[in-house]
Each structure stands twice: as structure tokens, then as C-alpha cells.
């Protein structure tokens, strides 16, 4: 068996995660790399940053495949003194290509949200948007058995890569959940679809104050659901990398190519630590603080 070229890998990747599935604003695809160059190994990572570019070089990868595109918002100049330019220069000068599979991998069967909903314990799910179709943004499905909200959150916490922020949960600890909706990455634009899906809980990342608050206020008028579980953007998408590597390796092997696939060892979540209240008057923990200021939550 021979090593694939960058062009061979790109063709296989675009069959697994078709570019036609990406959102109009996205920038998935081959960012840099000579198509004819052989690829002995591929490094999978969530982010194309200086550290993952360095890791790709150090581990002998011929291609860095990331979920997030490096040039999503574009750039007019790429000197090595800029953050994106430093990544591009590091890769090109060391003969490493860069390929991104972003919202096309979100929507594809077996993609980012499929990995996240399987981590919740749901095996049979459909797209949250474009329900009834095999592909689409987000996923929704039912757990084999109902679970308390806190148990579902702890199940997720056990499988997600640890990050400083952990998980934030809106809803009672003993609230019973069966129907689960998810969206890997930032998902607060999908609340209408979540409500339409009749999900008991919505698992996503990057929930901003106002969309989350408005969603909770509306939920309180309807029995408190959907509850919310907000996790790290990075962690919610990192789950997909192992499955993606196996899928791509399998497609290439079926075509007579041998390639090593590696997962990044780096945590590229941008946050390093959190500071929690410890000495608030009259309370000794965040649970006590929440009890003192319960708000309108049911």
C-alpha cells in the first residue's frame, strides 16, 4: 500500500463531509498544501493555531485536518508576524497541508453533533434542522430510559475533554429528561428548532446570557423545558475527531492507501482557569449562593 497525496485525502474528506453541506458563510476546504505531496500521517485537531501547527510538524504529519477553518473571516495579509500568518508559514515551510471540515462536518451523517448526542446516550437521532433528512444541523433523539438532568450532565462531563469552564446547567437537578437535542459548537441560534422538537434538554456550547435567559423564561411557561446544558465549544467538537479519523482512514484504505491518523494531544479551549465564589457572606459554596439568589427558576 502507498501513502495518499493531499489531493487523495481531500477527495476522500469531501466525500465524507461534502462541501455542499457547509453553510453559505463557511470556509471549509483545503487552505494550503501542494496536492501532489504524499501524506504519511494526518493530525486531527479542533483548531488551527500555532500550537497545533507545531504539533503537526513535530509528529511528522503531512496534513493537519481541523474542524475550524483558519481563514473563516478572511485576511488581506499573512506575514509571519500575524497569528494566522504564523500558522500558514509554519505549515508551508515544513511541507504540511491544512484542510478544514467545519459546518459540512456538522451536518454530515456521523458528524460533530452525532458524536455529541451519542455521548449523551442517544443512538437513534435525526437532524434538529431539516428533520426527516439524513443531513442537517444539530441532532435530536430519545434516551433509552429517562434520566435526571444532573445524571445526564455528569455523563457528559465524564466523556468530554476537561476544560476550565466545565458544564453549566439550567434546570432542576432531579428534572427528568428523555428527549435530547444537541448542537456541537455554538447553538443559541437554534432555540426555535429545539422548542419545535419538544426536547426535554438542549446540549450545546457558547450560550450567551440573553438568548439563554429568554429561552429559560419561555420554558418556564411550558413546564420548565427545555433545560439547558452549556459546555465548552472546543470540548463539544473534540468528541468528533476520533470518529472522523477512523472514517477517513477507512475510505483511504479501501482505495489502497495507507496513512496514519493521529489526534491532537492539545487542549485548545481558550480558557485556562475559573475563579468561583468562596467567601460570600452567608454562603460557603456556589450551591449556597444559588440558593440565596434563586431567581425565577423552577
Strands 176-186 and 139-148: antiparallel
Domain boundaries, the chain: 6-105+239-263, 109-233
Q: What is the pLDDT of residue 29?
A: 97
* Mean pLDDT score, 182-209: 96
**What percentage of the chain has pLDDT greater than the value 90?**
87
Asked, colleague to colleague, whether 6-105+239-263 and 109-233 share their fold, the answer is yes
Q: Give yes or no for residue 124 having a pLDDT over 60.
A: yes
Do residues 122 and 180 make contact, with C-beta atoms less than 8 angstroms apart?
Answer: yes
Q: What is the pTM of this model?
A: 0.91
CATH code at 6-105+239-263: 3.40.1390.30
Question: Which of 213, 211, 170, 171 has its CA nearest to residue 191?
Answer: 211
Question: Residue 132 — very low, low, confident or very high, per pLDDT cuts 50/70/90?
Answer: confident
- Exposure string for 251-283, b = 16+ CB within 10 A, e = fewer: bbeeeebebbbbebeebbbeeeeeeeeeeeeeb
Name the fold adopted by 109-233: 3.40.1390
At 248-285, the pLDDT tens digits run 999 999 999 999 999 999 999 999 999 988 755 554 45
Amino acid at each position: 500500500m502507498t501513502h495518499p497525496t493531499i489531493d487523495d485525502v481531500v477527495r476522500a474528506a469531501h466525500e465524507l463531509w461534502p462541501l455542499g453541506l457547509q453553510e453559505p458563510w463557511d470556509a471549509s476546504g483545503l487552505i494550503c498544501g501542494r496536492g501532489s505531496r504524499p501524506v504519511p500521517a494526518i493530525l486531527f485537531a479542533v483548531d488551527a493555531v500555532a500550537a497545533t501547527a507545531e504539533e503537526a510538524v513535530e509528529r511528522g504529519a503531512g496534513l493537519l485536518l481541523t474542524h475550524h477553518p483558519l481563514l473563516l473571516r478572511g485576511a488581506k495579509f499573512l506575514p509571519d508576524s500575524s497569528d494566522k500568518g504564523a500558522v500558514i508559514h509554519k505549515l508551508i515551510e515544513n511541507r504540511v497541508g491544512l484542510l478544514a471540515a467545519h459546518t459540512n462536518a456538522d451536518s454530515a451523517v456521523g458528524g460533530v453533533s452525532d458524536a455529541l448526542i451519542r455521548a449523551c446516550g442517544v443512538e437513534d437521532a435525526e437532524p434538529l434542522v431539516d428533520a426527516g433528512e439524513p443531513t442537517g444541523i444539530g441532532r435530536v433523539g430519545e434516551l433509552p430510559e429517562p434520566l435526571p438532568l444532573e445524571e445526564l450532565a455528569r455523563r457528559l462531563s465524564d466523556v468530554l475533554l476537561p476544560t476550565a469552564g466545565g458544564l453549566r446547567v439550567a434546570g432542576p437537578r432531579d428534572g427528568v429528561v428523555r428527549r435530547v437535542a444537541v448542537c456541537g459548537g455554538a447553538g443559541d441560534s437554534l432555540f426555535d428548532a429545539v422548542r419545535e422538537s419538544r426536547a426535554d434538554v438542549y446540549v450545546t456550547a457558547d450560550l450567551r446570557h440573553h438568548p439563554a435567559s429568554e429561552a429559560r423564561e419561555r420554558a418556564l411557561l411550558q413546564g420548565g423545558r427545555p433545560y439547558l446544558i452549556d459546555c465548552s465549544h472546543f470540548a463539544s467538537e473534540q468528541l468528533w475527531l476520533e470518529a472522523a479519523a477512523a472514517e477517513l482512514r477507512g475510505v483511504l484504505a479501501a482505495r489502497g492507501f495507507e496513512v496514519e491518523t493521529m489526534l491532537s494531544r492539545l487542549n485548545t479551549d481558550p480558557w485556562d482557569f475559573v475563579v468561583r465564589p468562596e467567601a460570600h457572606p452567608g454562603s460557603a459554596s456556589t450551591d449556597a449562593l444559588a440558593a440565596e439568589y434563586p431567581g425565577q427558576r423552577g
